[in-house]
Copies of this chain bind each other. A is one copy, B any other.
Amino acid sequence: MSAGEPCRFGVLTASDRASAGEYEDRSGPAIEAFLDEALTSPWEISRRLVKDEQKSIEQALIELSDEGCSLIITTGGTGPAPRDVTPEATEAVCERMLPGFGEQMRAISLKHVPTAVLSRQTAGIRGSTLILNLPGSPRSIREILDEIFAAVPYCIDLIGGPYITTDPTVVDAFRPSHARR
């Protein structure tokens, strides 16, 4: 893709209570605030707010991928409780999984709270879309994105998306020298 083309990001909140209007979604906006701080290349956003049902999450992920999102970040539904089904939905719509993200995200959160071991967060690729599961807590979202986003621009290159750039004071994105423009 040509440089300068805007990159589309999807933000998907899975929450029974936020989708029913019982409380305000603060997790999706926390992800969007991070993107706003981190990105220096043009970008666009698509948002979804669905209940914790595997089919609803799968359908939203497929729609966001079909809309051309290079990255979809989900929030919520990654724990061990019966209603937590975001990882199952993610795996169902992806062609291949990237186990390193789940490992690193749990390792980051474990520095803050021992129950991070319970998270089933995963990541995978559907066509030209990277899908990343984040937990529901806005503070955890930020702790994780601050570290893992450094690998996202090169991953988007490798799956055929636009060349994105970041503010190095927020995210020091890495590409091998042959991939830099």
Contacts and interface: CB of A to CB of B under 8 A. Distances in A.
A72 to B, nearest CB: 15
B80 A115 contact: no
A151 interface: yes
Contact of A81 (B102, B114, B151, B158): B158
Interface in A63-114: 79-82, 88, 96-104, 106-107, 110, 113-114
Contacts of A101: 117
Q: How many copies does the complex hold?
A: 3
Given A114-B151, A154-B118, A155-B115, A100 B104 contact: no
B120 A98 contact: yes
B100 A99 contact: no
Given A80-B125, A106-B103, A96 B117 contact: no
A117 B102 CA distance: 9
Contact of A96 (B107, B110, B120, B150): B120
Contacts of A103: 99, 103, 106-107, 117
A78 to B, nearest CB: 10
Interface in A142-181: 147-148, 150-151, 154-155, 158-159, 172, 174-176
Contacts of A107: 103, 107
A119 B100 contact: yes
5 contacts: A98-B117, A99-B99, A100-B120, A115-B176, A118-B155
Interface of A: 79-82, 88, 96-104, 106-107, 110, 113-120, 125, 130, 147-148, 150-151, 154-155, 158-159, 172, 174-176
